[in-house]
Amino acid sequence: MAINSQTKNSKKSMNVAIIMDGNGRWAISNSLNISKGHKKGVEIVRKIVEESVRQNISSLTLYAFSSENWSRPKAEIEAIKKLVIDAINNQVPELIEQKVKLRFFGHVNKFGKKIVSKIEEAENATYTDEGSLNLNVALGYGGRQDFLDITKDIATRVLSNEIKIDDIDENTISQLSSVPVNDIDLLIRTGGDRRISNFLLYQIAYSEIVFIDKYWPDFTKEDFIECIDNFKKVSRRFGKRI
């Protein structure tokens, strides 16, 4: 089968994902413009990435913009686009220094040529075979859209006799997904809501899920460490009797 069979999960375990929610409400509660909430949110990302490297986490997967977020006001979307470019310009040198490998996934083409080429530049600049942390950013991503893309991809490969129906297994789905990591160990959502909002539907099958009542701009390094420490105490049974 021509699908890349290289595993997406590094042997050094612990794949963390975060739904960084609450930027808008944080801005409103501080009498600021919504875009200032997103700007503050990017500053928090920098701190959490640094801590992830210190904690020896293998991957950090962040929800930056969902497929559904396209229905937000144009001005807010424009502010987010500008922040993505600013964040890449400002943070890539530090990422290189920390050996952090940056990857974007989702329908990034919808953001336009300027962002697409910035992303390519950043991914190439941070590429390394011996990285410390895989930093994956979901941009224009939706879990259901990913399923749809995978389904079409499988159908195309079956029709062209590249793969046989009997050969399709869970690994096929993982490998064809746009998500750069297979199994999320710990999923954190800030902002107080207890929902998934179309994030990594397939990859969170056995995740430990933590909901934090704070808005993302108020999330601290200490909160993050607490989440990780609590995760390490959890007995993960994966359906077995142990």
Which parts of this chain interact with Mg ion (CB under 5 A)? 21
41-70 b/e with 16+ CB inside 10 Å = b?
bbebbeebbebbbebebbbbbbbbbbbebe
Kindly state whether residue 65 participates in binding ligand IPE, applying the rule CB under 6 A: yes
59-66 β-sheet, strand order: 100-105, 133-141, 59-66, 15-19, 186-189, 208-211
Crossing angle of helices 113-126/74-97, nearest 10°?
20
69 binds, among ligand IPE, Mg ion, none (CB under 5 to 8 A by kind): ligand IPE
Which residues lie below 8 Å from residue 207, measured CB to CB, with a gap of 6+?
17, 183, 184, 185, 186, 187
CB-nearer residue toward ligand IPE: 10 or 198: 198
Question: Catalytic residue among 21, 146, 182, 185, which?
Answer: 21
Burial of 76 (0-12, 13-18, 19+ CB in 10 A): middle
19 binds, among Mg ion, ligand IPE, none (CB under 5 to 8 A by kind): ligand IPE
Encoded tokens for 184: 């999320």
User: In sequence order, what DSSP letters do the residues of 111-136 get, joined into one string?
Assistant: G-HHHHHHHHHHHHHH--TT-SEEEE
Question: Catalytic annotation on 86?
Answer: no
97-133 b/e with 16+ CB inside 10 Å = b?
ebebbbbbbbbbeebeeebeebbeebeeebeeeebbb
Binders of ligand IPE among residues 150 to 189 (CB under 6 A) are none
Question: Catalytic residue among 15, 23, 69, 134, which?
Answer: 69
- Only one of the segments 21-29, 43-51, 96-104, 179-187 lies at the binding site for ligand IPE (rule: CB under 6 A); that segment is 21-29
Question: Catalytic annotation on 69?
Answer: yes
66 binds, among Mg ion, ligand IPE, none (CB under 5 to 8 A by kind): ligand IPE
- Only one of the segments 58-66, 114-122, 144-152, 203-211 lies at the binding site for ligand IPE (rule: CB under 6 A); that segment is 58-66
CB-nearer residue toward ligand IPE: 40 or 157: 40
CB-nearer residue toward ligand IPE: 42 or 154: 42
Encoded tokens for 228: 């990780």
CB-nearer residue toward ligand IPE: 175 or 224: 224
CB-nearer residue toward ligand IPE: 19 or 200: 19
Kindly state whether residue 111 participates in binding ligand IPE, applying the rule CB under 6 A: no
Kindly state whether residue 132 participates in binding ligand IPE, applying the rule CB under 6 A: no
Q: Hey, which residues are catalytic here? A: 21, 69
Footprint of ligand IPE on this chain (CB under 6 A)? Answer: 19-25, 63-66, 68-69, 80, 191, 193, 195, 197
